[in-house]
């Protein structure tokens, strides 16, 4: 269980909270008590998945010091899904766009997992 607890009430309006509750359809590739992994609606690579906590955390900047387990769970889930999707060997990129300049468009913490083609650096 994550340590986000009841201090993180679900948002009625948030699109990713609604996906977590099953109110909006998504192609889910992994889920457990604490997090969800589903396909991005507008994929930027052959594999483009989003890893989200079920708890409504707005962004990396909104994380509490006590949420190490929540954050670690997202990264370890990304590792596991990359393996199960068969992209771990060739490699992949994890991205957490944060805030306006970071290009964040959905205010529910998410980690992008991009893979299946060479990804250029630096990003735009």
Give the strand order in the sheet containing 28-31. Answer: 28-31, 35-39, 47-53, 111-115, 92-95
Q: Read off the DSSP letter of residue 90.
A: T
Q: Read off the DSSP letter of residue 65.
A: T
In the block, residue with structure tokens 């970071």 = 102
Regarding 42 and contact with ligand AMP (CB under 6 A), the answer is yes
Regarding 11 and contact with Zn ion (CB under 5 A), the answer is yes
String marking each residue 66-105 x if it binds ligand AMP according to CB under 6 A: -------------------------------x-----xxx
56 binds, among Zn ion, ligand AMP, none (CB under 5 to 8 A by kind): Zn ion
Determine the residue with CB nearest Zn ion: 14
Within 33-62, the residues that bind Zn ion by CB under 5 A are: 56
Which stretches of the chain are assigned E, i.e. beta strand? Answer: 28-31, 35-39, 47-53, 92-95, 111-115
Give contact residues for ligand AMP (rule: CB under 6 A). Answer: 15, 24, 26, 40-42, 50, 97, 103-106
């Amino acid at each position: 269980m994550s340590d986000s607890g009841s201090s993180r009430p679900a948002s009625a309006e948030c699109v990713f909270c609604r996906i977590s509750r099953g109110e909006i359809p998504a192609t889910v590739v992994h889920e457990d008590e604490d997090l969800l992994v589903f396909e991005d609606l507008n994929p930027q690579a052959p594999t483009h998945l989003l890893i989200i906590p079920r708890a409504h955390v707005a962004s990396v900047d909104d994380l509490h010091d006590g949420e190490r387990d929540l954050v670690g769970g997202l990264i370890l889930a990304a590792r596991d899904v990359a393996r199960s999707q068969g992209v771990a060997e060739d490699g992949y990129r994890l991205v957490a766009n944060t805030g306006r300049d970071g290009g964040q468009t959905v205010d529910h913490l998410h980690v992008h997992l991009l893979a299946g083609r060479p990804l250029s650096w630096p990003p735009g």
